[in-house]
Amino acid sequence: MELKRDNWLVSYPDDGNAVCFEMEDASFWYQHRNNCILNAIQNFGFEKEFYDIGGGNGITASILQQNGYEVTLVEPYAQGISNARQRGINRTIQSTLEDFRPGNPVPGVGFFDVMEHIENDENFLMRINRVVKTGGRIILTVPAFQDLWSDNDVQLGHFRRYRLQELDRLLVKCGFTPLYSTYFFSLVWPPMWLLRVLPNRLGINRPNSPKKKKSEHMATTPRLSRILRSLLSWEVKMIRRKRRIPFGTSCMVIAQKN
Please tell me the number of Cα atoms within 13 Å of 110 on its side-chain side.
Answer: 31
The continuous run of DSSP H or E covering 251 comes out as strand 250-257
Q: Is the pTM of this model over 0.85?
A: yes
Burial of 135 (0-12, 13-18, 19+ CB in 10 A): exposed
C-alpha span between 50 and 71 (Å, rounded):
5
Q: Residue length, the chain? A: 258
C-alpha span between 84 and 81 (Å, rounded):
5
Per-residue confidence (pLDDT) for residue 217, from 0 to 100? 58
How does pLDDT run along the chain (258 residues), one tens digit per residue? 444 434 444 555 555 576 677 778 888 899 999 999 999 999 998 999 999 999 999 999 999 999 999 999 999 999 999 999 999 999 999 999 989 988 899 999 999 999 999 999 999 999 999 999 999 999 999 999 999 999 989 988 999 999 999 999 999 999 999 999 999 999 999 999 998 899 888 988 777 666 666 566 555 677 887 888 899 999 999 999 999 999 999 999 999 999
User: Is the CB of residue 254 less than 8 Å from the CB of residue 179?
Assistant: yes
Q: Which residues contact 201 (CB under 8 A, 6 or more apart)?
A: none
Q: Does domain 5-257 have CATH number 3.40.50.150?
A: yes
Per-residue confidence (pLDDT) for residue 2, from 0 to 100? 43
- Would strands 250-257 and 176-184 be described as parallel, antiparallel, or unpaired? antiparallel
Per-residue confidence (pLDDT) for residue 94, from 0 to 100? 96
Backbone angles phi, psi at 111, to 5 degrees: -145, 115
C-alpha span between 65 and 50 (Å, rounded):
9
What are the tens digits of pLDDT across the range 103-123?
Answer: 899 999 999 999 999 999 999
Q: Give start and end residues of each alpha helix (H) in the chain.
A: 16-21, 28-43, 59-66, 78-86, 121-131, 151-156, 164-173, 189-192, 198-201, 210-216, 222-231, 233-240
Per-residue confidence (pLDDT) for residue 22, from 0 to 100? 73
Per-residue confidence (pLDDT) for residue 48, from 0 to 100? 97
Per-residue confidence (pLDDT) for residue 178, from 0 to 100? 98
SS (H, E, C) 94-106: ECCCCCCCCCCCE
Count CB-CB contacts under 10 A for residue 57: 29
- Give which of 16, 28, 57, 9 is closest to 208, Cα–Cα: 16
Mean pLDDT of the chain: 89
* Residue ranges per structural domain of the chain: 5-257
- Give which of 66, 129, 145 is closest to 97, Cα–Cα: 129
User: Is the CB of residue 144 less than 8 Å from the CB of residue 183?
Assistant: yes
